Chains A and B, each alone.
Chain A
Amino acid sequence: MELNSKIPEGPVAEKWTKYKFDHKLVNPANRRKYDVIVVGTGLAGASAAATLGEQGYNVKAFTFHDSPRRAHSIAAQGGINAAKNYKDDGDSVWRLFYDTVKGGDFRSREANVYRLAEVSVNIIDQMTAQGVPFAREYGGLLDNRSFGGAQVARTFYARGQTGQQLLLGAYQQLARQIGLGNVELYNRTELVDVVVVDGRAAGIVVRDLLTGEVSSHSAHAVVLATGGYSNVFFLSTNAMACNVTAAWRAHRKGAAFANPCYTQIHPTCIPQSDDFQSKLTLMSESLRNDGRIWVPKDTNDTRSPDQIPEADRDYYLERRYPSFGNLAPRDIASRAALVEVASGHGVGPLKNGVYLDFSEAIGRLGEKVIEERYGNLFEMYERITDESPYKVPMRIYPAPHYTMGGLWVDYELMTTVPGLYAAGEANFSDHGANRLGASALMQGLADGYFVLPNTIANYLAPKLGEAVVPTDHPEFQAAEAAARDRYAGYLAIDGTRSPDSFHMELGKIMLEHCGMERTKESLTTALELIPPLHEEFKRDLRVTGSGSSTNQTLEKAGRVDDFFELAQLMCLDALTREESCGGHFRAEHQYPDGEAMRDDDHFAHVAAWEWTGDASNPTRHVEPLEFNDVHLAVRSYK
């Protein structure tokens, strides 16, 4: 397998401009002769489908939700970064580029990141034109807030619902195209396989979630915008239905999977309260703008937080990282919380959280200002925990949130399968080993609105006049048959355990052994535990109901099945990456003060894994990373 990143020549700041001039174009009149499939309708998928539809391509969009508006992009709270420098506090495209590369612990591709920073300004313009009600100052101009990992205020936001407003903006553009007939939407339809014919993506096989019917769709190009895989941990901030199936099926058909071990544990989530819990709820990182994080100095302190005097509190982030303080990047803040809880300083009934305290901010700004900034988050917190953050400090703890790893893509966002693209969280491209807050929305929209519609033309242009592979082609037929067998198989096992029970057990293994802190030993243990559990799954799964009408248990079984194989790849990747970087912290590789120790000599590369047919024995390929514009340095937020 060859990993050709296809990075254009020239200085980093001119690469995208040069690319846009150099790539092949499809004449507007010819675009309707091309079929493009977009799977997933979150930020990346909806914006890509809408833009391709606007440009004149025949687009088919697929979502397993009832409506494109449900995609989990909607749950992003805090904001979206853009190098607008509206605050004139020293921001620039170059600084956003630099912050993102550094924030990613120098494990991302410079060219991709620069392009991301460059188009970030267009995203804000575009979304504003589409009617996204970003927060404004009294004078009517756009407001900004600051976010973790940056010393400038460059985050645009719409209350605590930025993801919702951006997704609805993209959804509305998509809806317009659907209304105009340029995009055909297939809702409640899940991808179950990717079809590759003659080494090129030919289409997909899908399952209708209402009828269980399996069918094929062919196209000249296929875009996967199917999100991340944090749900491999069972408990995460992802929505219940988020899964890796689309990316994993593509991987099994030849798309390399890059850096699966780069997972982000978000520092500010509500701590787990019990085993029945189905998911963890994120409290926006923006809370760290005004909230101060602390734990009692004494591990045996049982006083209520308001009774603990300042002298007995440890504001550990402010102590350890004086210049960034409570706004230290996510990986650092998460690990610091882990250290506090592991050393017995945790708070709450299960001693599994740290305080995020607003009393100082409320005293300084008044309750009204705090309510305006975070009112909806405080309400959500109170609904879940029955405690008011206006009165008592929030309790927070890190939870799996975002996955920087994903399908390997080149500069054009094309996977190792020609004609198969991955966009948004589903690809690995821009965040390196750690994603900065408010950058996921930026990347999803950059990919969908501005990158893909350009790069896809370069692939399609030479194929003018070529017909799509008919869906009665043997490859399609075989994939359809395999998919039918697969779902019939889950029903036929008739064992004793539900898909959820397996998922929960797998999640516990992953969180314990491949979570915030990993060791060679823990990863080896995980790799010993997962295959037998997967075998048990195949032997003892119980799915009730039938395959011919809506069956959520059956849907879940298919998703958990794929998580098992991904889980092994994550552990293998974590095991072979003998360094600590960003969200990947190997306990063996740390400085005496507990900071992550990178090994640039041996690991300044992307690890892209090739499927070999055996989940426990994939092939590792390497794409070296070159840093010409950002100097490799120890990441310091002190």
Chain B
Amino acid sequence: MATTTVARGPAKPGARAKRKAPFPVEFYRSALGKKYVMAITGIMLIGFVIAHMVGNLKMYLGPEEFNHYGEFLRELLVPILPRTVALWLLRIGLIAAFVLHIHAAYSLTRINHAARTVKYQSKRDYIAANWASRTMRYTGVIFGIFLVWHLFDLTFTGTNYHYVRGMPYENVANSLSRVPVALLYIVGNLALGVHLFHGTWSLFQSLGWSNPRFNAWRRNIAVAIAAIVVIGNVSFPIAVLAGAVHT
């Protein structure tokens, strides 16, 4: 038979799945399932990023307001839950979302590389695929590295400045007053903005949210979210450098 691909024969749908697994796991095994997970964890992460940005705007109200906001987070849902428990639950959810988001991205990237082992030997001329959509894995990785650094910088240990646990306002002002650090924050957030620009639009497709009534808005929503997050977050290092936020 003149065919060079997969042997023909009775089609065996789902032959790839090895063992019967609980249905969410089975769903996640498919690439489409991974896209759903990407989209849902993406929504969680977008929610966090926006809340994080909005919370940080308190910086402009002064140290007391800002530090009080930090304390509020630790007091969240007290007395239903003991102090910091709600915050930890949120953190665990967030970490899980990150891990899944990264694992799904990693697996899909591997699938996609295997799907075209020999690349085009001439220059591609893309029409719809934009710079953001084709650099998701790079903007994701850049932001991920930045995030780790950011956690060490302001949450765990501080990075070579006078770090005081429980004094976030002072820590931010001290850290970001260093020009290279401020630049790093700007770069990290620009990468995040580019990532959100495609990611937010993309999640509508992945989740099957397509409807002529709101389709025209999907791109606008993505632009708005990316813009708000970038403008808010980039304003902090600039404000610190400009002297509007200082110890």
- Alpha-carbon distance between A181 and B11 when the two chains are bound, in angstroms: 9
In chain A, what residue has the closest Cβ to B12?
Answer: A179
Q: Closest CB-CB distance, B11 to chain A, in whole Å? A: 4
B 1-45 to A, binary, CB cutoff 8 A, 1 in contact else 0: 111100011110000000000000000000000000000000000
Query: Are B2 and A208 in touch, CB under 8 angstroms?
Result: yes
Is A568 in contact with chain B by the CB < 8 A criterion? no
A239 contacts which chain B residues (CB < 8 A)? none
For A252, the chain B residues whose CB sits under 8 A away are: none
A188 to B1: give the CA distance in the assembly, Å. 8
Chain B residues whose C-beta falls within 8 Å of the C-beta of A211 in the assembled complex? 2
Task: Check A189–B2 contact: CB distance below 8 A.
Answer: yes
Q: Is A180 an interface residue (CB 8 A)?
A: yes
Interface of B is mostly: loop
Tell me if B11 and A179 are in contact (CB < 8 A): yes
Cβ A187 vs Cβ B1 within 8 A: yes
Across the interface, do A187 and B11 meet the contact criterion of CB distance under 8 Å?
A: no
Instruction: Determine whether the beta carbon of A180 is less than 8 Å from that of B10.
Output: yes
Assess whether A181 is in contact with B2, with CB atoms less than 8 Å apart: no
State A188–B4 Cα separation when bound (angstroms): 11
A171 CB, min distance to chain B CBs, angstroms: 15
Count of A interface residues, CB-CB < 8 Å: 14
Contact of B2 among A178, A180, A184, A187 (CB under 8 A): A187
| Beta-carbon contacts under 8 Å, A159-188 to B | 178-181, 184-188
| Contact with A187, one of B3, B9, B10 (Cβ below 8 angstroms) | B3
B8 touches A185 (CB 8 A): yes
- Closest residue of chain B to A185, judged by CB? B8
Select A181's contact among B1, B3, B4, B9, beta carbons within 8 Å: B9
- Bound CA–CA A211/B3 (angstroms): 10
Main secondary structure of the interface of A (DSSP, over half): mixed
Q: Report how far A180 CA is from B9 CA in the complex, Å.
A: 7
CB distance from A548 to the nearest CB of B (A): 13
Q: Which residues of B contact A210 (CB under 8 A)?
A: 2, 4
Contacts of A181 in B (CB 8 A): 9-10
Q: Using a CB-CB cutoff of 8 Å, which residues 197-249 of chain A contact chain B?
A: 208-211
Report how far A187 CA is from B11 CA in the complex, Å: 18
Q: Once the chains are docked, how many angstroms separate the CA of A208 from the CA of B9?
A: 19
Which residues of chain A have C-beta atoms less than 8 A from B11's C-beta? 179
Q: Is the CB of A188 within 8 A of B2?
A: yes
Contact pick for B8, options A178, A189, A209, CB 8 Å: A178
Contact indicator per residue, chain A 547-584, by CB within 8 Å of chain B (1) or not (0): 00000000000000000000000000000000000000
Contacts of B4 in A (CB 8 A): 210
Whether the pair B1, A186 counts as a contact (CB closer than 8 A) is: yes
Contact call A186/B2, Cβ cutoff below 8 A: yes
Residues of A within 8 A of B3 (CB): 187-188
Q: Which one of B2, B8, B11 has the greatest number of beta carbons of chain A within 10 Å?
A: B2
Give A209 to B11 CA distance when docked, in angstroms.
Answer: 25
Kindly identify, within residues 90 to 119 of chain B, every residue whose CB is under 8 Å from any CB belonging to chain A: none
By beta carbon, the residue of chain A nearest B9 is A181
With the chains together, A179 CA to B9 CA distance in Å? 6
Q: Kindly state the separation between the CA atoms of A184 and B9 in the bound complex, as whole angstroms.
A: 8
- B-chain residues with CB within 8 Å of residue A209 when the two chains form the complex: 2
A184 surroundings in chain B (CB, below 8 A): 1, 8
B8 partner residues in chain A, CB cutoff 8 A: 178, 184-185
- Chain B 191-204 interface 0/1 with A at a Cβ cutoff of 8 Å (1 = within): 00000000000000
B8 CB to closest chain A CB (Å) equals: 7
Query: Complex formed: what's the CA distance from A179 to B8 in Å?
Result: 8
B223 to chain A, nearest CB (A): 33
Q: For chain A, residues 440 to 472, give those with C-beta under 8 angstroms from any C-beta of chain B.
A: none
A179 to B11, CA, bound (A): 5
Q: How far is the CB of B15 from chain A (nearest CB, A)?
A: 13
CA distance A198 to B3 in the complex (A): 34
Separation in Å of the B45 CB from the closest CB of chain A?
41
| Bound complex: CA A187 to CA B3 (Å) | 7
Compute how far the CA of A83 lies from the CA of B11 in the bound complex, rounded to whole angstroms. 38
Bound-state CA distance A210–B1 (Å) is: 9
CB of A209, distance to nearest CB on chain B (Å): 6
Tell me, in angstroms, the Cα distance from A209 to B10 when the chains sit together.
25
Closest-CB distance, B107 to chain A (whole angstroms): 28
**A179 pairs with B2, CB closer than 8 A:** no
Q: 5 closest Cβ contacts across the A-B interface?
A: A188-B2, A179-B11, A210-B2, A181-B10, A208-B2
Which residues of A pack against B, CB within 8 Å? 178-181, 184-189, 208-211
- Could you give 15 example pairs across A and B, Cβ below 8 Å? A179-B10, A179-B11, A184-B1, A185-B1, A185-B8, A186-B2, A187-B2, A187-B3, A188-B2, A188-B3, A189-B1, A189-B2, A210-B2, A210-B4, A211-B2
List chain B positions with a Cβ less than 8 A from chain A.
Answer: 1-4, 8-11
